[in-house]
């Protein structure tokens, strides 16, 4: 059994396959129908989703996706594939790394099928979300569990007699390796800037405040991450701000809101802000357009100089970041295989 590779599932939320209204509509329907994301009763939410949201938002979002699209397709898909390739190289033949997206292809079900075809019976699941949230990490738990059991719904019939052993990697929001990877990444980003930033905004994806009030630890984990990163960077409290982005709907979300923070920077005397997203480890629409384009417009409209506004890339396939993830995977595979847990020279 020790000669059998260990499966590694690298999981992300997902992305439309193309920047068209039709493709975005399919993606949003799947994403926004998940009650982990929108927990409003389907009797109330589905008429709103189908009658309003999916009639208006896909066309608008498709325009934004076209702005960030690359010749190789979706940025999130491209960077995720690079992460997959980098981890496979580091982990070696003792591991088999697959990419599985929660709401688009290649999806989690396809990844589990690939493991089964390869005869893999032990799988380590790595959610690419350093901070746990019921809206992200838990969706991966659901998708993997249902796919491994051979059913798409919790009340569906069992279709598989054998279920692989699963190990879900816990949130790593305060792990020294994660913090160090961000520190080195930001050092390189700032060293390449013509002018040193005079303020850093650490922007995390937001969630409704009600979710936090009813038990989601995400905001507190974001604050812990931000505090540890600021300490590692040597910033004093006036040199950085934590914020939350991507508000959706009328419900109150955790704050402060990123766009409100950016709007207030010029008045506070900030001339050269740098925005970085510690929780989004793969560049996507939220970083490449919401932060880089819309954020710049907000900063400029408030009196700032647009060309002095900077956004750091996500960790993506950063070498130190992938080194950390590879070691995290090996730690979580301990006991399954002595040979697979050994380091692989690059």
Cis peptide before 256 (omega within 30 of 0): yes
- State the Cα–Cα distance between residues 226 and 243, nearest whole angstrom: 10
Q: What pLDDT does 248 receive?
A: 85
- State the Cα–Cα distance between residues 283 and 68, nearest whole angstrom: 10
251 or 83: which leads in pLDDT: 83
Helix, strand, coil percentages (3-state) for the chain, rounded to 5, are 45, 15, 40
**What CATH number is given for 6-172+319-332 in this structure?**
3.40.50.1400
162 band by pLDDT with thresholds 50, 70 and 90: confident
- State the Cα–Cα distance between residues 299 and 292, nearest whole angstrom: 11
DSSP annotation of 94 reads G
In DSSP terms, 245 is beta-bridged to 205
Say yes or no: domain 176-311 is CATH 3.40.50.1400: yes
170 or 340: which leads in pLDDT: 170
1 band by pLDDT with thresholds 50, 70 and 90: very low
User: Average model confidence (pLDDT) for the chain?
Assistant: 93
Tell the residue number behind the tokens 């088999």, with chain if given.
96
Please check whether residue 123 is in contact with residue 20, taking contact to mean a CB–CB distance below 8 angstroms: no
Please check whether residue 277 is in contact with residue 204, taking contact to mean a CB–CB distance below 8 angstroms: yes
340 band by pLDDT with thresholds 50, 70 and 90: very low
Task: List C-alpha distances in Å: 224 to 6, 14, 174, 185, 339.
Answer: 32, 26, 7, 19, 35
Evaluated on CA atoms 188, 291, 226, 79, the torsion sign reads: negative
Cβ partners under 8 Å of residue 257, min gap 6: 206, 243, 244, 245, 247
- State the Cα–Cα distance between residues 315 and 84, nearest whole angstrom: 14
Q: Is the pLDDT of residue 194 over 70?
A: yes
Q: What pLDDT does 159 receive?
A: 66
pLDDT tens-digit readout, 277-323: 999 999 999 999 999 999 999 999 999 999 999 999 999 999 999 99
Q: Taking the domains of the chain in order of start, what are their residue ranges?
A: 6-172+319-332, 176-311
Angle of helix 176-191 relative to helix 319-332, nearest 10 degrees? 170
Same fold, 6-172+319-332 and 176-311: yes
């Amino acid at each position: 059994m020790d000669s059998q590779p260990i499966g590694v599932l690298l999981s992300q939320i997902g992305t439309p396959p193309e920047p068209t209204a039709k493709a975005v509509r399919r993606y949003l329907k799947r994403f926004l129908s998940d009650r982990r994301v929108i927990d409003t009763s389907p009797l109330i939410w589905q008429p709103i989703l189908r009658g309003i949201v999916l009639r208006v938002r896909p066309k608008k979002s498709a325009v934004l996706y076209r702005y960030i699209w690359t010749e190789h397709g979706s940025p999130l898909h491209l960077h995720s594939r690079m992460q997959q390739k980098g981890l496979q190289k580091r982990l070696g033949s003792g591991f088999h790394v697959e990419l599985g997206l929660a709401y688009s292809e290649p999806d989690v079900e396809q990844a589990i099928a690939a493991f089964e075809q390869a005869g893999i019976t032990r799988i380590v699941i790595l959610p690419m979300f350093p901070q746990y949230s019921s809206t992200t990490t838990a969706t991966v738990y659901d998708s993997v569990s249902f796919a491994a059991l051979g059913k798409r719904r919790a009340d569906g019939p069992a279709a598989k007699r054998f279920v692989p052993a699963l190990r879900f990697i816990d949130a790593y929001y305060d792990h020294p390796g994660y913090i160090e990877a961000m520190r080195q990444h930001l050092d390189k980003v700032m060293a390449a800037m013509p002018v040193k930033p005079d303020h850093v905004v650490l922007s995390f994806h937001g969630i409704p405040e009600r979710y936090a009030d009813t038990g989601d630890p995400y905001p507190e984990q974001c604050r812990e991450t931000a505090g540890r990163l600021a300490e590692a960077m040597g910033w004093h409290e006036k040199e950085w701000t934590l914020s939350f982005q991507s508000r959706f709907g009328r419900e109150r979300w955790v704050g402060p809101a990123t766009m409100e923070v950016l709007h207030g920077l010029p008045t506070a005397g900030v001339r050269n802000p740098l925005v970085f997203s510690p929780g989004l480890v793969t560049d996507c629409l939220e970083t490449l357009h919401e932060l880089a384009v819309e954020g710049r417009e907000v900063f400029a409209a408030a009196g700032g100089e647009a060309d002095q506004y900077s956004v750091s890339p996500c960790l993506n396939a950063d070498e130190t970041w992938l080194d950390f993830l590879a070691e995290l995977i090996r730690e979580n595979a301990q006991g399954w295989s002595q040979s697979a847990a050994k380091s692989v020279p690059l």
